[in-house]
Copies of this chain bind each other. A is one copy, B any other.
């Protein structure tokens, strides 16, 4: 998506360790005009797949997800992150390891909002090692919900997440795919 690539090039910065900092428009300060465009792009791709709910994780997935939800006419659920979740009967839970933060978080979704009658679209801000998306897939599985697709804002294609998710057979749609951050240069994979 060209608009997103422009934002990344103009407002993103590359830090040591292949870290792409996008807190100027995505995960600390948020640009609502861009978020609306991202939501429209996800809707355009998935609107004919029978989605009943969008599922994301707090916090940075929420903004693109609510605009996608508005476009598609469906509610958005954000999984909550907690250091430790007391086992509760009314929650679906999964454990997500963050390579960036080097810590595990339990994520949870209330059983009240996700059932085996749902067809969901998973949306997240980043796809790197794929652990967050896999955690959401586990929650969908616990609910018996069908997953019609995974929508990602920025994919670091040089990490393992994409290939892990592709093994599930679920369509992965990333709005920007980064081939490399070597030497602090941002290189995109362009698809036609």
Residues of A within 8 A of B (CB): 23-25, 28-33, 35-36, 58-59, 62-63, 66-67, 69-70, 74-78, 80, 83, 109-110, 112-113
Q: Is the beta-carbon distance between B59 and A110 smaller than 8 angstroms?
A: no
A36 contacts across to B, CB distance below 8 A: 70
Q: Is the beta-carbon distance between A29 and B75 smaller than 8 angstroms?
A: yes
In the bound complex, what is the Cα–Cα distance between A35 and B69 (angstroms)? 11
A30 contacts across to B, CB distance below 8 A: 62, 66, 69, 75-78
User: How far is the CB of A25 from the nearest CB of chain B, in Å?
Assistant: 8
- Chain B residue, CB-CB nearest to A63: B66
A80 contacts across to B, CB distance below 8 A: 28, 59
A32 contacts across to B, CB distance below 8 A: 66-67, 69-70, 74-76
10 residue pairs from A and B, CB less than 8 Å apart: A23-B113, A24-B113, A28-B77, A29-B75, A29-B77, A30-B69, A32-B69, A32-B70, A59-B78, A66-B66
**Beyond A23-B110, A24-B113, is A29–B59 a contact (Cβ under 8 Å)?**
no
User: How far is the CB of A76 from the nearest CB of chain B, in Å?
Assistant: 4
Q: Is the beta-carbon distance between A28 and B66 smaller than 8 angstroms?
A: no
User: How far is the CB of A190 from the nearest CB of chain B, in Å?
Assistant: 28
User: How far is the CB of A28 from the nearest CB of chain B, in Å?
Assistant: 6
